[in-house]
Chains A and B, each alone.
Chain A
Amino acid sequence: MTDAAVTTAAPRKRSKRARPRPDVWAWTGISIVVVGLVLAVIGPWVAPFGVGNIVTSVYAQPDAQTLMGGDVLGRDLLSRLLHGARLTVGVALAATVLGFVIGMAVGFSAAEIRGRYDDFITWLIDVFLSFPPILLALIVIASLSSDLWVLIGTIAVIHSSRVARVGRAVAMNIAALEFVEVARARGEKLTSILVREIWPSTIRPLAVEFGLRLTYSILFLSSLSFLGLGVQPPDADWGSMVRENMNAMQNHAYIAVLAPAFAIAILTVGVNLIVDWLGAQSGRGISEELTK
């Protein structure tokens, strides 16, 4: 199914079809993502208090000082949300980008070199795809601890097998086109063919994939942190904030749990709105995200 959808998004049709303007939903998604990115950059600077500063009482009601009240230890909830934005967005983005770089390098080279190398890569991708991502992550984290770079690397590896598969399928179509043939005849080196000939033509079809992978990164990182195996205290991303404030529910102090939970949900819905809009143009939407 993926292969067929990818073919319709071949680069040649691009010039014939004017890009439709984003609709209301797409603009909503774009604004959410822009706000998320801005918060990730400036969040820790504009936060009124430090991550670990205890400034109020446990699950305190919001007041003029602490606009969203206190958390499980009496730290300022708003400040922790702002600090967490950088971790959630930053780690998810870094993991997705790294996963794409690895996945595209592997997938494109398999499409260009073909033969035994391609067979081996395809088999390797299949092995990784038949490994439940959460188990892979848990095993790696058990061995190497929840260091930030380990988290980024693990999520990137999980992405890379999926990206490699889609990237290989897209690159197959492009590697067969005349201009790549010409480049080969001209004696361009492999890296040059991959980077200068194939890569530019795959940006449109892979943009949707990037959005889907970014959503998945955010959800996956949040889940790991929620399980207590992601970002470690005293730092907190939004997933670990939900975890540490779970007890607030017994006290009916819901904001401490709901604020980070909704922050994650709004961000992922925002990315998905953009993905849906991009997907509607290239004939590929969230529904085609078959194998997570």
Chain B
Amino acid sequence: MPGVEFAGTGKEIWEALDVFKLIARRMFLGLLTLWAISIIVFLGTEILPGDVASAILGQSATETNLAALRETLGLNRPAYVRYFEWLVNILSGDLGVSLTNGMPLDRIIGLRLWNTVYLALYAAAVAMPLALGLGLLSAAYPEGNFDRTVSSVTVFFISIPDFVIAVLLIMIFAVELGWFPGAIHRPRWEDVFGTMDKTFLPMVTLVLTLLAHVVRMTRAAILDVLKQPYIEMALLKGASKSRIILKHAIPNAMGPIVNVVALNLGYLISGVVVVEVVFTYPGLGRLMVDSVVFRDVPQIQAVAMVFCSFYVVLNIFADVGAIMANPRLRYAK
């Protein structure tokens, strides 16, 4: 594209501004989404048949002490007042107190968050290079033996639930062979490598569920690019297969691939909930399930908001990554 190369600097500055505006717009939309989510989370926990007061008092609830507790907790005020108060508190970093054990939620969530982030990063660090490599190889020789094998294996892993994978892994590697523990109660931060060994099975479970999706999407993204006229041009020019893929296809497929990676990191979130419960891993996912079981409303609200923020931020990264990688998207709308 010679036009772009010879364009004056003035035009480039305008283009940079355009990109900046697009990204700012995307971030604003992300914030708007988070706000809408906060309403859903608040309303969702508001429609509880019993309120927080009856949850705290449990069996010992009488009409008088219920009313008294509602008064002290401020539950008598209208819902929208409490919503805004809750929102302001969350924005200022005050997540409230857990009903289950009376501990401040920011401390509980802080601990659990790192455990989950550790597991997710561990899985992503293994899954992403592996998945991109496999997807690339499948796309390089479409419909070949390698591609067919990868394709049928990935259909299988997409089809079976993640807890079934986890159960099979525990059966083989923890119970029968005894190589890795089947339950992890506490990852030890002072010994990261020892913990990698202990968290091996949850990591493999996440990798297997993630791998299938990313391999298929990478393959689709690269095949999509390989259909383009400029690839045909390179082929006619006599470029070698490796050169076509490395020099022509990959840079153009980067946008969709970045998108795929970010989307799947979001997908990790739901995988993490199940995996943490199977392996009794003390992460945010298990905290969420536990708070649902104990109907710990402030905890449900806080954990849900932390999860959703991650999800929204990852989605923004995905979009911004796609915009940065693909100049054509900058001019859409």
Which residues of chain B are within 8 angstroms of A254 by Cβ–Cβ distance? 171
Does B206 belong to the interface (CB within 8 Å)?
Answer: no
Whether the Cβ atoms of A276 and B263 lie closer than 8 Å is no
One of B59-67, B240-248, B286-294 contacting the partner: B286-294
Q: Which residue of A lies closest to B42 (CB)?
A: A139
Given A133-B270, A257-B167, A287-B220: A265 in contact with B44 (beta carbons within 8 A): no
Query: Closest chain A residue to B311 by CB distance?
Result: A132
Contact with B along A267-283 (1 / 0, CB 8 A): 01101110010000000
Chain A: interface residue count, which band? 35 or more
**Residues A226 and B274 in contact, CB atoms below 8 Å apart:** yes
A269–B266 contact, CB under 8 A? no
Q: Which residue of B lies closest to A246 (CB)?
A: B167
Name the contact of B161 in the complex, choosing from A131, A222, A288 (C-beta under 8 A): A222
CB of A249 within 8 Å of the partner chain: yes
Chain B interface residue count, CB cutoff 8 Å, equals: 57
Specify the chain B residue showing the minimal Cβ separation from A271.
B159
C-alpha spacing A292/B175, complex, angstroms: 33
B300 within 8 A of A: yes
A252 to B176 CA separation, bound complex (whole angstroms): 8
Cβ of B200: which chain A residues have Cβ within 8 Å of it? none
Interface centre among B45, B159, B293 (most CB of A within 10 A): B159
CB of A290 closer than 8 Å to a CB of B? yes
B270 touching A132, Cβ below 8 Å: yes
Given the known interface contacts A249-B171, A264-B161, A292-B267, the answer about A134 and B273 at a Cβ–Cβ threshold of 8 Å is: yes
Residues of A within 8 A of B175 (CB): 249-250, 252
Asked if B167 contacts A249 (CB within 8 A), the reply is yes
Please report whether the interface of chain A is mostly helix, strand, loop or mixed according to DSSP.
Answer: helix
A126, A131, A262, A268 interface centre (most CB from chain B within 10 Å): A131
Are A269 and B160 neighbours in the complex by a CB distance under 8 Å?
A: yes
Chain A hits for B300, CB < 8 A:
138-139, 142
Interchain CB contact (< 8 A) of A242 among B29, B164, B260, B266:
B164
Tell me whether B130 is interfacial, beta carbon within 8 Å: no
A18 at the interface (CB under 8 A from B): no
Give CA–CA (A228, B220) in the complex, Å: 36
Is there an interface contact between A134 and B270, defined as CB atoms closer than 8 Å? Answer: yes
Q: Lowest 6 A-B CB distances belong to which pairs?
A: A287-B216, A134-B270, A139-B44, A265-B160, A268-B159, A142-B292
Interface CB pairs A-B, < 8 A, 22: A1-B256, A130-B33, A136-B40, A141-B292, A143-B46, A215-B159, A226-B161, A226-B277, A227-B274, A229-B292, A239-B161, A242-B163, A242-B164, A249-B175, A250-B175, A252-B175, A261-B161, A264-B164, A269-B160, A286-B216, A290-B263, A292-B267
Q: A: which residues have CB within 8 A of B?
A: 1, 126-127, 130-136, 138-144, 215, 219, 222-223, 226-229, 239, 242, 246, 249-250, 252, 254, 257, 261-262, 264-265, 268-269, 271-273, 276, 286-288, 290-292
